[in-house]
Amino acid sequence: MKRTIIFLILLVMLMNSIMPIAVFAVGDGNIDSGGGNMGSGTSENKWSPGYDGVRITVVRSSDHSIVTAPIDFTNRQPPSTMFHFGKVSKIQYNSGSNLSPIQGSYYYYNPAQAMPRIVSTNGKNNIDAIKKYFCSEYTIKRIADITGINYDILINGEYKLLLEPIAYYTFQGAMIATTATEAAMYDEKLSGGLRRKMVSLSHKNLPLSMFLEVGDLGYPAWSGSTSKPASNSDIKSYLGLGIVRFKEKPDPPIINTFDYEYRVNTEVITSVMVSGGQSDPDNPTNVSFEIGGRTYNVGNIYYPSGDSQLAWVKWTTPDTEQDMIINVSVHGSGMTTKSTINVKIVDLDKNPPPNPVADDRNDSFSYASVPNREQKTTANWSIWSPWWQGYWVWHSTGEDSGYWCDHGWWEFDLDQYSARLSADMRITNDSKNPTGSGSIFKSGYGINQLVTANLSNNQSSAITYPQNAISYFPEFQYETYWRLLECLSSGSNTRFEFKKNIYSTYKNRTHFTPIWMPDGAYTVNTWVIDAWTPVGMLSMNLRDTLTIRGNLWQDWHIAPLKP
């Protein structure tokens, strides 16, 4: 009883002094530990393994201010008569708070899911289990409930959790609770009296049960001994703390979509641009396209934070005209974003020219300029390729033991791809034209056409070769009627010609010019299209010219009757 009274007097004496703390450190899951054998105690000065806890303080990341009053977690039920110093964190002591002794009225929480052992007796406490426990959703939600902070707000990256190990032990016959910092400050007031009696606990196993493994926010990590008693100064500056840091809430994926017009029965590419946060093999992004009742899944979409990546799918359009809606879903960062793409499918083989006849006339005809149809002959796109940048850190578990851990991160290379479209067209006299010569022919006769196209590229899986070519004619002012050419050879060397003309006696691949077409240049305009890439369609606007001199009737004459 006498020693208990002496202890209480010493505690009261502390109320008249202020003990500043030199430094405070923080980190993300930033906790390591050490310690060693406890040795034996006495009935007046002793500690039983398992009588420990953790003081938890919510701290604002930007200015290190205390957001809520600290709370204590423990698996035990400390006695109501126990001495303690209230709910004060290391940060508050660092800011000038003094030790204020209190007997009784110690408030604590027994979590339903028990904590792992915090303070070891042999320096081999399970630090991985401690990290896992205090970074778990269960524990964070429990802390949010007790402190009154909304869980989503607590984990949005603006706050950190300061963890401080607590020991419940008997000193000079009285039960006392201290954090490592409080033990060091108390020992200083006792001129080393606590260290002399409880050194294995107060200056070794308690402070070494948690310390920063990596320096953060300007505060150094602990690089000293993990098995020998520490000084009061080192405890206050380096030891007896761990940090749980929350990553900022990931950005939801963002989709940028584009509407398309396609031709019937054509292999096409549909693309979306995906961004938001970072996508890497640890946190991948996937895109699903729902097209015509079928789902196309595209994975391995990676990009660094602040950038974006195209995602695309290759598919074949239906063989009838229609309007379609493509549903797009992007899954990334644990969230899903949805959007739609409007698609129009058209049939270009519905307006072939009518059959010209011998008595056709067009006295009001005038030449129109050859149109400059849309032309895009080159495409460039890129794909992010992630790779792991290793950064190995040594984690000491004792004087001569420890392990290496890779604390690396994802880096990205940007791979460039391209495609280039080249094409050529040539119109010639039909093989059945008896008087055509070179580039000269008479109106009323037919012409043939050959279009060749080539698409050079360095990623064949991401392109389609040209699939359609449409020819327009001067007699229709390069509109109203046209001919959809037939693809006779596909692939890297594509070849198009006129379809077989149903009005041709010989079913030739021909286009008949009207007999009324005036003398002069006869220029055909051909648009080569449907060479698709992830960044859109490539196309070329072509033209070729023959010269009309005379008409078909001039090749006819009436022979005299023989007598």
Domains of the chain: 2-245 (no CATH), 254-346 (2.60.40.10), 420-555 (2.60.40.10)
Written as six digits, the tokens of 69 are 């009053």
| Structure tokens that stand for 453 in this block | 């196209």
- 471-497 residue pLDDT tens: 999 999 999 999 999 999 999 889 999
91 phi and psi, to 5 degrees?
-60, -45
The pTM assigned to this predicted structure is 0.64
Give the span between the Cα atoms of 66 and 78, in whole angstroms.
Answer: 26
User: 170-174, 209-213, 243-247, 316-320: which has the highest mean pLDDT?
Assistant: 316-320
User: Which helix (H) or strand (E) element contains residue 3?
Assistant: helix 2-14
Which residue reads 């021909």 in tokens? 510
3-class SS letters over 63-117: CCCECCCCEEEECCCCCCCCEECCCCCHHHHHCCCCCCCEECCCCCECCCCCCCC
Using alpha carbons only, what angle is made at residue 368 by residues 362 and 371, rounded to the nearest 5 degrees? Answer: 140
State how far the alpha carbon of 63 is from the alpha carbons of 160, 288, 471, 497, in Å.
Answer: 11, 43, 70, 74
**For 174-292, where are the E strands, in sequence order?**
174-179, 242-245, 254-256, 260-263, 267-275, 285-291
From residue 154, give the alpha-carbon distance in Å to each of 50, 57, 140, 141, 145: 29, 12, 8, 9, 11
Q: What is the pLDDT of residues 73-107, one digit of tens each?
A: 999 999 988 999 999 999 899 888 999 999 999 99
Band (pLDDT 50/70/90 cuts) for residue 560 is: low
Using CB atoms within 10 Å of the CB of residue 319, give its burial: 0 to 12 exposed, 13 to 18 middle, 19+ buried: exposed
Give the span between the Cα atoms of 342 and 325, in whole angstroms. 5
Q: pLDDT, tens digit, for every residue of 104-156?
A: 999 999 999 999 999 987 766 678 888 889 988 899 999 999 999 998 889 88
Q: How does pLDDT run across 376-412, given as a tens digit for each residue?
A: 999 999 999 999 999 887 766 556 666 787 878 899 9
Nearest residue to 157 (alpha-carbon basis) of 88, 85, 251:
251
